Amino acid sequence: MTTTVCGLWPAKRQLVAVLLRSDSDKRRLIRSANTSDGRFGLLEFLVATEAEIVTTEALARVDLLPQQAVRQQLVVWAAEDAFVSALLRAAVIRDSARAAALLARLPAIPRLRASLRRLAPPEVPPNQLPLIYAASDTRASLEASPGFNLPSGRTVACRLAHRAGTT
């Protein structure tokens, strides 16, 4: 089975992604702009290729792309910042593309794979509504209810809580 692994590394004005396939030595370099469109396009490409993603703990904390990738059921690995820094220093790597390529190679090395932590999807409490996905459906059902006249945000929140059974 061929797997594709993507290493992500932040650069000055962009996010650098290097894709490596397990059956080939070739690498593919992608530079994504630091915009929401750039991140979305890169994420869609990674989902289409079903790539595993390797990033640093710091990038996983501050960038939305790793968390969105987990929500899209991609495997996302996070490496400790100190560990990656030591590897980069030992290999004398200062280029962002080479750093991303190093991250992409980590899962293929059994002893180094043990140092990676797999990101888990965020747990949603059972009494919390998935508002991002259900917002349009909920609003449509509220508008269809009798006497609906665009209430304030507090009234909508109370109605949503009532419908969820958490009055």
The residue type of 114 is: A
- What distance in Å separates the CA atoms of residue 143 and residue 150, rounded to the nearest whole number? 8
Give me the DSSP letters along 155-167. HHHHHHHHHHT--
Is residue 21 within 8 Å of residue 67, measured between CB atoms?
A: no
Model pLDDT for residues 73-95, shown as the tens digit of each residue = 999 999 999 999 999 999 999 99
Is residue 18 within 8 Å of residue 100, measured between CB atoms?
A: yes
Is residue 141 within 8 Å of residue 162, measured between CB atoms?
A: no
Q: What is the mean pLDDT of each successive set of 10 residues along the chain, which is 167 residues long?
A: 90 94 88 92 95 95 92 94 94 94 93 92 70 45 46 46 52
Fold designation for 4-118: Nucleotidyltransferase; domain 5 (3.30.420)
- What distance in Å separates the CA atoms of residue 89 and residue 59, rounded to the nearest whole number? 19
The confidence score (pLDDT) of residue 130 equals 57
Beta strand 27-33 with 52-56: parallel, antiparallel or unpaired? unpaired
pTM: 0.72
The confidence score (pLDDT) of residue 43 equals 95
How many CB atoms lie under 10 A from the CB of residue 100?
Answer: 28
Q: Where do the domains of the chain lie?
A: 4-118, 131-164
Closest CA to 112 of 120, 104, 100: 104
Closest CA to 4 of 84, 108, 80, 97: 108
Closest CA to 97 of 20, 5, 7: 7
